[in-house]
Amino acid sequence: MPATGPVMTGTPSAWLVEPYGKASWAFIDDTGQEQLFAISDKTRQVRFLCDEMLRRLGRWLRAAGYDTVIAEGGICDRALVARSIAEGRVLLTKDRHLAAEAGCSMRVVLVPGDGIDEIARALRSLLDIDWQYAPFTRCLVDNALLRPAPTDFGGRVPPASRAIGDPLRVCPDCGRLYWPGGHVRRMQMRLIAWQHEDTPAAKTTS
């Protein structure tokens, strides 16, 4: 079956490299034949590593609840690949050279799309990413799982947000406090829009 776009070489254990259709990816096997395979059943527990060009995507994946490492600037490709393999992460990149080099030894996705909305919808369509997987359960800064905040932390929250009554969460690593304020609500609306493949009514920043 001919591909609709460029397909990088790899092995079945490398998983992916270029999208063929919804939740299906193509690779070239050892005999030179193109094969298709689905990964949608694996994405619920998948862990990611975003290269530095996809920092914003990494924060949104954390907002959706996915365990996502964001590469620091200046880290070499070899270090990214080594960490992804060591931690069992799927490497997300915009760098075609990095994807080609890494694809023979690990799971890597050459992320399509321009702009966060287009990228988010592409991952939803191609990888079956659930943008409502576990929203706002991880710290957006350091990826740690949030914990219920002590009751005395309520005094640090604006009165209007305290009145909503939703639980407060705190990052055990950096101590940042999260509450259901307007920014979180706007981000949640955007996650919902991506999940349903709608265009968000308003843009937000993160």
Q: What is the mean pLDDT of residues 84-102?
A: 90
**What average pLDDT does the chain have?**
76
Print burial letters for 113-123: b (CB count within 10 Å at least 16), e (below 16).
beebeebbbbb
> 140 vs 106, which has greater pLDDT?
140
Pairing of strands 48-50, 90-93: parallel
Edge to edge, what strands does the sheet with 177-178 contain? Answer: 147-148, 169-170, 177-178
Residue 71 has what pLDDT?
95
Whether the pLDDT of residue 50 is over 70: the answer is yes
Instruction: Determine the topology of domain 12-127 in CATH.
Output: Rossmann fold (3.40.50)
Of 122, 51, 56, 36, nearest to 90 (Cα)? 51
Q: In the chain, where are the structural domains located?
A: 12-127, 147-195
- In single-letter form, the type of residue at position 48 comes to F
Q: What is the pLDDT of residue 68?
A: 97
pLDDT at 20: 36
- Any idea which residue has 């740690």 for tokens? 144
pLDDT of residue 46: 86
pLDDT tens-place string over residues 9-29: 333 333 344 433 333 444 433
For residues 119-141, give the mean pLDDT: 91
Q: Report the alpha-carbon distance of residue 87 to residue 83 in Å, rounded.
A: 6
Output 73 or 161, whichever has higher pLDDT. 73
pTM above 0.85, yes or no: no
Q: Strand 108-110 to strand 90-93: parallel, antiparallel, or no bridges (unpaired)? A: parallel
More confident residue, 181 or 31: 181
Q: Are 36 and 20 in contact (CB under 8 A)?
A: yes
Percent of the chain past pLDDT 70, that is, above it, reads 69
For residues 185-190, average pLDDT? 92
Helix (H), strand (E) at residue 70: strand 68-70
**Cα gap 20→129, rounded to integer Å:** 16
- Which residue reads 């999940």 in tokens? 195
Q: 182 or 123: whose pLDDT is higher?
A: 123
Region label for 188, one of left (φ > 0), alpha (ψ between -120 and 50) or beta (otherwise): alpha
